[in-house]
A and B are shown apart, each in its own frame.
Chain A
Amino acid sequence: MSDIIRLSAAALADRLAAGDISSVEATQAHLDRIAAVDGDIHAFLHVNEKALDAAADIDRRRAAGEQLGTLAGVPLAIKDVLVTTDMPSTSGSKILEGYLSPFDATVVARSRAAGMVPLGKTNMDEFAMGSSTEHSAYGPTHNPWDLERIPGGSGGGSAAAVAAFEAPLALGSDTGGSIRQPAHVTGTVGMKPTYGGVSRYGAIALASSLDQVGPVTRTVLDAGLLHDVIGGHDPHDSTSLTDAWPSFAAAAREGATGEVLKGLKIGVVTELPDSGFQPGVAASFRDALDRLQAHGAEIVEISAPHFEYGVAAYYLILPAEASSNLAKFDSVRFGMRVDVAGGTVEDVMAATRDVGFGEEVKRRVILGTYALSAGYYDAYYGSAQKVRTLIQRDFDTAFGQVDVIATPSAPTTAFKIGEKIDDPLQMYLNDLTTIPANLAGVPGISIPSGLADDDGLPVGIQFLAPARADARLYRVGAATEALLVDAWGGPLLDRAPVLNERSRTMQEGSR
């Protein structure tokens, strides 16, 4: 395996800037890795045929002395929920098979402008509905730690791609944990920014009031670097914040010194019972907290009495908004059309949506239609919006007492593919700890906390901060990461099983 692909994005960027490695070499190394392992992982739905051209262009510009962005020349995997002009964007659905967008998502345009090289589009649960990537219309993605297990979801493709060293960085989207929960089960880093901190323009909407685009990486610093590229105000997204954001990469670098832990107040939610978590997950979480405490952090018990209503509120708000957002897939302007002999346009629309949507999508669209329909609105959607207020108040109270809140990123480690697919309710409970951040709009980051002692699979610790305090998460996340990696004697991913490389086309270790 080429050592180029094992470099962090920050290290790769340094080598590119120094001229040690060209972007073409770096891109080729990742394309080779994809060719070698993606048959087993299935992280990618589409590999960019023009990646090497984009890389060569960056190399030319660098050679010409052009001032390039920090991540210029670094390859990037893009979750298929983000529309791209040069690659199909399907959001994991058959109904959008082959769809070519006439515009780039803002985060994609910004990545390109920063000189990053799009490697391809990554697999996901259809329309980001799921926690396992089993609901992709194009087949499941496999967890690089155990190919029989799920890589999390909905952004399992992006997480698996970075965990399998197929890409140093990826873009994800997080509606109820779709960046953080895959990070948890793949031993990677996932950051959901403050709602409005990163543009949603060009992200195929699932639930507009919950969706947020963010970085999927192997290190906290890499996440900060990517966040610096994609973040900031976008006039195309009315909900985009106009705040002047600090450099998140700088925050991560500052955090890595560990200073931030001295006197840091970390809240632990009393209402999240240990019993709800797999023992190995709970143990890893406690262990991480102990280490943080040993380095000067103070662990404070806080109460968030309404978090337990979060999942219920989420599974009303999400389907409701999704049922409306997905109405545009009607076979008229784009996407699949199923013809019905002698049928009216109504018949054609209904047949197309029956064939084009997968089971989970239909389930949620029907549920959302119900939640919004006359006579049920107040009891369901209206009440769920009130629960949002209550959860925001819980956060406000908590952040009056602590700097960050910590939770396990998810209740269990990666489960087996197929294990929960017939039990939607069990599947929904997976998002228990990640959902409150989406409902309240606050930022959250998941970083590896270790391996569960009961099954040897990765576990993540999630930190939550007040809205707009994303930089605090980079500081605390980087400090925790430095502490743990030091204790482990190397990154957690070093302990992942070696993947079987099927076809090697590139010269090994060219440098």
Chain B
Amino acid sequence: MAAALMDFDKALELYEPVLGFEVHVELNTKTKMFSAAPNSFGREPNTDLAPVDLGLPGSMPVVNEQAVRYSISLGLALGCSIAASSRFARKNYFYPDLGKNYQISQYDEPIAYEGQVEVELADGTLVQIPIERAHMEEDAGKLTHVGGAAGRIQGAAYSLVDYNRAGVPLVEIVTKPIFGAEHGAPELAAAYVRTIRDIVLSLGISDARMERGNLRCDANVSLRPRGQEKLGTRTETKNVNSMRSVERAVRYEIRRQAAILAAGGTITQETRHWHEDTGVTSPGRPKSDADDYRYFPEPDLLPVVPAPELIEQLRAALPEPPATRRRRLKAEWGFTDLEFQDIANGGVLAEVEQTIAAGAAPTAARKWWTGEIARLANAADRETSELVEPAAVAELQKLVDAGTLTDKLARQVLEGMVAGEGTPQEIVDARGLAVVSDDGALIAAIDEALAAQPDVLAKIRDGKVQAAGAVIGAVMKAMRGQADAARVRELILERAAQ
């Protein structure tokens, strides 16, 4: 299925990439968009359902007020205008994950429209992303394909449907076409998604965990020959569920489309699917007349007419915009440009902030997230931000600060945390990793080591203090690393003096 690809720089020489994004954000309300069933994750299939989530005959939707407030807040944070009157519409299409065979969404009157989001690139460049609209809708259920290769839809014998996710509140954020990204297009894509993630996290309206599908990005890419006015045909790549993938998928589409265009071919307007494993996109359904969603105003629901006071109240409660926030945090934490870019580019700003809020020093928090956690994430091919909880990292650092753990032991505890073995303290207890602070045990080990190396003891007594190093090594080995080397050194000098 591997398509011919053009070299990226060559592609950019010939064509201008035009981007567009549709990001779906799952809101973390207690209940669903249109029913009082729990908005849950990871529960037994088909357990968190109200009649309307299954489209049962006679069931009816009722709008979750909190979801509306969250949507307005998000709209405001995206710099959008909030519609004086907004309404729901039915998007009609048959698919087994849709309980009603229509999705309640918004069409001609979205809750928020015409906004702008500032995105910062690695080199500090600020790019304005124009937002067309943000609208409220409901999520679909989950399909599991059985009998085909690797759970793929192709060749599956049958599929199983779990509707627990059906009706979970979504906000879909749609950008206008984005011009001028040029070589930075792939990076901009990831930076945009990261910015949306930062915004919804700072608003506290979504868990924003991409691996759980809380945040999903569809990336639209088209190319137009240099100097041409008319936009090229675009593809919409779906199923891009990490920031790294967004970047890779955009780069791939640019290279793929460029190869086709340069060979005199035409781009098919279609949805494409991103394959995380192989790093390629493959065609989905072609966009055709069959995509006739027959939108019409949802007759079971009434217009949402937000009171101006409510909008102002929510506006006043908005967190600061990401770029402002970055400038403030950088100053507060006292980092250099380089140190701060490490954090921002690592996509762990929120994590570092939360770790500091939970009690860790800025330098320690930065060191964890851009160092060891990033290394483990890289090795596991996962998102750094998704590896561990910031509060747990702060707890880990507390153990280091208290002398319970050395840096080396702390790294072992971190591995346990990533492996899901529990809280830092639980892992310390379970693995018996704490620094031995019982002097008695240390002294016994030191005396034994000194007795085994009388020449070293003599040197120390002669004032050659650096000779203690050899004993320290032996003691640490005997303590299986669980000792504070500085304390061991102190004790060696004490014992030698006796």
Q: Mask for B87-127, Cβ within 8 A of A = 1, else 0?
A: 00010101010011110000000000000000000000000
Q: Is the pair A208, B300 in contact by a Cβ cutoff of 8 Å?
A: yes
Q: Is the pair A372, B301 in contact by a Cβ cutoff of 8 Å?
A: no
> A202 vs B62: C-alpha distance in the bound complex, in angstroms?
14
Q: Is the pair A101, B94 in contact by a Cβ cutoff of 8 Å?
A: no
Q: Is the pair B301, A101 in contact by a Cβ cutoff of 8 Å?
A: no
Q: Is A488 an interface residue (CB 8 A)?
A: no
Q: Is the pair A239, B92 in contact by a Cβ cutoff of 8 Å?
A: no
- Chain B hits for A99, CB < 8 A: 57
Q: Is the pair A96, B57 in contact by a Cβ cutoff of 8 Å?
A: yes
**Given known contacts A238-B302, A374-B292, A328 and B51 CB-to-CB distance under 8 angstroms:** no
**Given known contacts A238-B61, A239-B300, A330-B101, A372 and B92 CB-to-CB distance under 8 angstroms:** yes
Closest beta carbon of chain B to A311's beta carbon, Å? 19
Q: Is B54 an interface residue (CB 8 A)?
A: yes
Binds B, one of A43-51, A184-192, A274-282, A319-327: A319-327
Q: Is A105 an interface residue (CB 8 A)?
A: yes
Q: Is the pair B102, A327 in contact by a Cβ cutoff of 8 Å?
A: yes
Closest beta carbon of chain A to B92's beta carbon, Å? 5
Q: Is B55 an interface residue (CB 8 A)?
A: yes
- Chain B hits for A372, CB < 8 A: 92, 294-296
Q: Is the pair A101, B56 in contact by a Cβ cutoff of 8 Å?
A: yes
- Chain A hits for B295, CB < 8 A: 372, 377
> A334 vs B55: C-alpha distance in the bound complex, in angstroms?
10
Q: Mask for A221-246, Cβ within 8 A of B = 1, else 0?
A: 00000000000000111110000000
Q: Is the pair B57, A83 in contact by a Cβ cutoff of 8 Å?
A: yes
- Chain B hits for A200, CB < 8 A: 60
Closest beta carbon of chain B to A289's beta carbon, Å? 36
CB-contacts of A407-450 with B (<8 A): none
Q: Mask for A181-210, Cβ within 8 A of B = 1, else 0?
A: 000000000000000000011111101110
- Find B51's partner among A102, A377, A381 (CB 8 Å cutoff): A102
Q: Is the pair A236, B90 in contact by a Cβ cutoff of 8 Å?
A: no
Q: Mask for A76-112, Cβ within 8 A of B = 1, else 0?
A: 0000001100000101000010010111010000000
Q: Is B159 an interface residue (CB 8 A)?
A: yes
> A207 vs B56: C-alpha distance in the bound complex, in angstroms?
16
Q: Is the pair B58, A201 in contact by a Cβ cutoff of 8 Å?
A: yes
Q: Is the pair A377, B101 in contact by a Cβ cutoff of 8 Å?
A: no
Q: Is B161 an interface residue (CB 8 A)?
A: yes
> A452 vs B73: C-alpha distance in the bound complex, in angstroms?
64
Q: Is the pair B300, A238 in contact by a Cβ cutoff of 8 Å?
A: yes
- Chain B hits for A508, CB < 8 A: none
Q: Is A373 an interface residue (CB 8 A)?
A: yes
- Chain A hits for B57, CB < 8 A: 83, 89, 91, 96, 99, 101, 204, 328, 334
Q: Is B491 an interface residue (CB 8 A)?
A: no
> A334 vs B163: C-alpha distance in the bound complex, in angstroms?
14
Q: Is B299 an interface residue (CB 8 A)?
A: yes
- Chain B hits for A204, CB < 8 A: 57-58
- Chain A hits for B55, CB < 8 A: 328, 333
Number of residues from B at the complex interface, CB < 8 A? 30
CB nearest neighbor in B for A105: B58
Using C-beta atoms within 8 Å of the partner chain, give the interface range for chain A: 35 or more
CB nearest neighbor in A for B161: A332
Q: Is A2 an interface residue (CB 8 A)?
A: no
Q: Is B63 an interface residue (CB 8 A)?
A: yes
> A346 vs B159: C-alpha distance in the bound complex, in angstroms?
12
Q: Is A303 an interface residue (CB 8 A)?
A: no
> A323 vs B299: C-alpha distance in the bound complex, in angstroms?
13
Q: Is the pair A239, B302 in contact by a Cβ cutoff of 8 Å?
A: yes
CB nearest neighbor in A for B289: A374
Q: Is the pair A103, B94 in contact by a Cβ cutoff of 8 Å?
A: no
Q: Is the pair B58, A333 in contact by a Cβ cutoff of 8 Å?
A: no
**Given known contacts A235-B62, A238-B61, A324 and B102 CB-to-CB distance under 8 angstroms:** yes
CB nearest neighbor in A for B163: A333
Q: Is the pair A236, B54 in contact by a Cβ cutoff of 8 Å?
A: no
Closest beta carbon of chain A to B331's beta carbon, Å? 49
CB nearest neighbor in A for B63: A238
CB nearest neighbor in B for A200: B60
Q: Mask for B282-315, Cβ within 8 A of A = 1, else 0?
A: 0000000000101110011110000000000000
Q: Is A345 an interface residue (CB 8 A)?
A: yes
Q: Is the pair A238, B296 in contact by a Cβ cutoff of 8 Å?
A: no
- Chain A hits for B101, CB < 8 A: 327-328, 330
> A374 vs B290: C-alpha distance in the bound complex, in angstroms?
10
> A200 vs B59: C-alpha distance in the bound complex, in angstroms?
9
Interface residue ranges, B against A (CB under 8 Å): 51, 54-63, 90, 92, 94, 96, 99-102, 159, 161, 163, 292, 294-296, 299-302
Known: A103-B51, A238-B300, A333-B56. 13 other contacts (CB 8 A): A102-B56, A103-B58, A201-B58, A238-B62, A320-B296, A321-B296, A327-B94, A330-B101, A333-B55, A334-B56, A345-B96, A372-B92, A377-B296
Q: List 8 A-B contacts (CB under 8 A).
A: A96-B57, A209-B299, A236-B60, A239-B302, A323-B92, A328-B55, A334-B56, A346-B94
